[in-house]
Amino acid sequence: MNEWREKKPQEWRRYVNNEVKVTAHEKQECQGWVFTVDPVSASVVLVNFQDTGRTCVTVVMGHAVEAVEILKEGGPEMEERLSSLFMPTGHHGLTKQELQHRKDSLRVWLEKNRIPVVEEGETLRVAGVLSVDPPYGPQDCSSSNEIILSRVQSLVQNNPVKM
């Protein structure tokens, strides 16, 4: 029985943007800042910033995770630093206000089409099975359910508020 894999995504979310120590299979330990936890495999993506200016990304497979301990809380600066690693253009050169406008208009459009949507930080979660990340275009939708993915991408594409 792996307690880590039994957690729900909301529980894993509290580890994101925090520095942690992961104890894995056979007591191996990894330390780093949690970029994300994969909701399907429970794998932990850790980032370490090295003095040389390089960044090291490590993935600890979910089945091997035995314990995760938060060592240090990361604030908004760490959240920005981590997200900028994987989106260095600042979401295609958009300002925070433009991104907020896109997110708000898409949320309203989805709700108008009777699609259940909630905000989780910068991400819009649709019906609990799909996420839309900045900059909130059809290509920014992800889900393991191809039918829902296709339908929501179509809705995003047809949003009357020009993005």
Tens of each residue's pLDDT in the chain, 163 residues = 678 999 998 999 999 999 999 999 888 999 999 999 999 999 999 999 988 888 999 999 999 999 999 999 998 889 888 887 776 455 566 777 888 899 999 999 999 999 999 999 999 999 899 999 999 999 999 999 999 999 999 999 999 876 5
| pLDDT of res. 93 | 67
Q: What is the rounded distance in angstroms from the CA atom of residue 112 to the CA atom of residue 116?
A: 10
Task: Name the pTM for this structure.
Answer: 0.55
Q: What is the rounded distance in angstroms from the CA atom of residue 29 to the CA atom of residue 47?
A: 14
| pLDDT of res. 29 | 95
Q: Which residue type occupies 66? A: E
| pLDDT of res. 84 | 75
| pLDDT of res. 30 | 94
Start-to-end C-alpha separation, the chain:
46
Q: What is the rounded distance in angstroms from the CA atom of residue 69 to the CA atom of residue 31?
A: 9
| pLDDT of res. 104 | 94
Q: What is the rounded distance in angstroms from the CA atom of residue 155 to the CA atom of residue 16?
A: 29
Q: Is 119 exposed, middle or buried (0-12, 13-18, 19+ CB in 10 A)?
A: exposed
